[in-house]
Chains A and B, each alone.
Chain A
Amino acid sequence: KQEVTQIPAALSVPEGENLVLNCSFTDSAIYNLQWFRQDPGKGLTSLLLIQSSQREQTSGRLNASLDKSSGRSTLYIAASQPGDSATYLCAVKEVRGSTLGRLYFGRGTQLTVWP
């Protein structure tokens, strides 16, 4: 069974820092990988989706990379802001279940950016 691990579980940084969130998964036969953001008491919002054939995706100050063979992804946040404070979750979709859409989630990294 696919297992997704996120490190660190929590991170607290001053505004302006560049930071990296890590995600690892045990089965490299993935269809894609997604990064989500969750604000307290709210649902999840998709940030970036990387197909298995891609190496990275960028959206504004966010850059996500994927190394499928080693089972790792990183989310890079440039010039962090207090508004970036949230929990960030990584999720993978396996190839064999791709048409069913089932994702496997990590437990998230809780990020706090202080002014």
Chain B
Amino acid sequence: DVKVTQSSRYLVKRTGEKVFLECVQDMDHENMFWYRQDPGLGLRLIYFSYDVKMKEKGDIPEGYSVSREKKERFSLILESASTNQTSMYLCASSSRVGLAGGRAGTDTQYFGPGTRLTVL
């Protein structure tokens, strides 16, 4: 059974603290993603990574950084947490497929259970 785990389900931090959110997948996936989800705004992509030590900015990278030192682990870092970063954070992973054939049908994104972060 495929699995994406996140380090915490609920987290409460104070403004200005450095926050680490960890995500681990056991499917040997190349791609990993961090989203935040807010009511009325849907899922928004923060950062993604398509290989170890590689990262790409998503739609809302400001205030966040990421680290991918090992294939199975993707960390989201809030350098100095602010109240507007209170949100649900979701991690996902998927395999890499090519345009020509490839592993069609296997590039589904698998999501973790989410971390509800509150910044006071």
Chain A residues within CB distance 8 Å of chain B: 31-32, 34, 36, 41-46, 49, 51, 89, 91, 93, 95, 98-103, 105-108
- Which of B62-70, B78-86, B90-98 forms part of the interface with chain A? B90-98
By size class, the interface of chain B is 20 to 34
Instruction: Please report the number of residue pairs spanning A and B whose Cβ atoms sit closer than 8 angstroms.
Output: 70
**Cross-chain contact A101 with B114 (CB below 8 angstroms):** no
Q: With A100-B56, A105-B43 in contact, do A34 and B104 touch (Cβ < 8 Å)? A: no
CB within 8 Å of A: which of B5-30? 30
Within 8 A of A (CB), among B64-120: 88, 90, 92, 94-99, 104-105, 107-114, 116
A-B pairs with beta carbons under 8 Å apart, 16 shown: A41-B88, A42-B113, A43-B90, A44-B92, A44-B111, A45-B111, A89-B43, A91-B109, A98-B97, A99-B96, A100-B31, A101-B30, A101-B96, A101-B109, A102-B58, A105-B42
**Complex contact B99–A101 (CB within 8 A):** no
Among B4, B58, B94, residue most surrounded by chain A Cβ atoms (within 10 Å): B94
B52 interface hit (Cβ, 8 Å)? no
**In the assembled complex, which residues on chain B have CB atoms less than 8 Å from the CB atom of A95?**
99
